[in-house]
Amino acid sequence: MSKVAVVTGGTRGIGRAVSIALQDAGYRVAATYCGNEEAALAFNNETAIAVYKFDVGDFAHCQKGVADIEQDLGAIDVLVNNAGITRDAMLHKMPTEHWRCVMNTNMDSLFNMCRNVIDGMRERKYGRIINISSINGQKGQAGQTNYSAAKAGVIGFTKALAQETAAKGITVNAIAPGYVATEMVKAVPQEVLDAKIIPTIPVGRLGEPEEIAHGVVFLASEKSAFITGTTLTINGGQYIA
């Protein structure tokens, strides 16, 4: 029987590409979403990938969501913590709510989701957890103290959980994408992309969501069994950690 993979924020952007790539690799995939119902239903109609609506920043929602997925598809073998939001502002202008909601969705969600799958993975002595960080969690970014802090936290969380679970047959790794051609990045004015962003990327272009997805599929596979606690940087050479 094929393995079950869950992708949070899995119906749009990088998450969408990850969900499709895992399905193509033979996984039974569940994609979670929170806000955009229309996009999620269109994604489901197009791909036949099961979609589940719940807030990954809420522990009780995750508890129920994981239970629903496992009831429908079976025990979760692969968890991709991809869901994320931005609420950019310079710190001296940042509302408290912008800090809290970014930390809640981008950082607390890792605990909420991992805590609800980890016991099963430990019992079965198998699991793959892949956490999506960011180039800005590695180097920082002005106007993104909240986002950069959360994404740096993702890397620390990954390293610690990897040490806790390695002997149980569970690997935990992170991927830190650079600037990828998603809706969020494409919303940046083209003149800004051309003048200030793309020139800083040595390969001379934005990444594609599918290029991040390829990394996820590898880290979810048996071929990556000796890799844990690492951060795979996929950014076209823009920042070399």
Establish if 190 belongs to a structural domain: no
Domain range for residue 80? 4-180+209-234
Selection from 163, 56, 156 nearest residue 110 by Cα: 56
State how far the Cα of 158 lies from the Cα of 240, in Å rounded to an integer: 19
Establish if 51 belongs to a structural domain: yes
- Kind and range of the H or E run holding 177: strand 170-177
Establish if 188 belongs to a structural domain: no
pLDDT lower than 50: segments of the chain: none
Q: Is 147 considered catalytic here?
A: yes
Can you give the CATH number for the domain in which 51 is found?
3.40.50.720
Establish if 68 belongs to a structural domain: yes
State how far the Cα of 204 lies from the Cα of 115, in Å rounded to an integer: 40
Establish if 92 belongs to a structural domain: yes
Catalytic residue (one of 33, 52, 147, 179): 147
Establish if 52 belongs to a structural domain: yes
Task: Please tell me the total count of domains within the chain.
Answer: 1
pTM, rounded to two decimals = 0.96
DSSP classification of residue 207: B
Residue entry with tokens 């109609």: 45
Question: What pLDDT was estimated at residue 17?
Answer: 98
Establish if 167 belongs to a structural domain: yes
- Kind and range of the H or E run holding 53: strand 50-53
State how far the Cα of 175 lies from the Cα of 89, in Å rounded to an integer: 25
Question: What pLDDT was estimated at residue 241?
Answer: 79
Establish if 161 belongs to a structural domain: yes
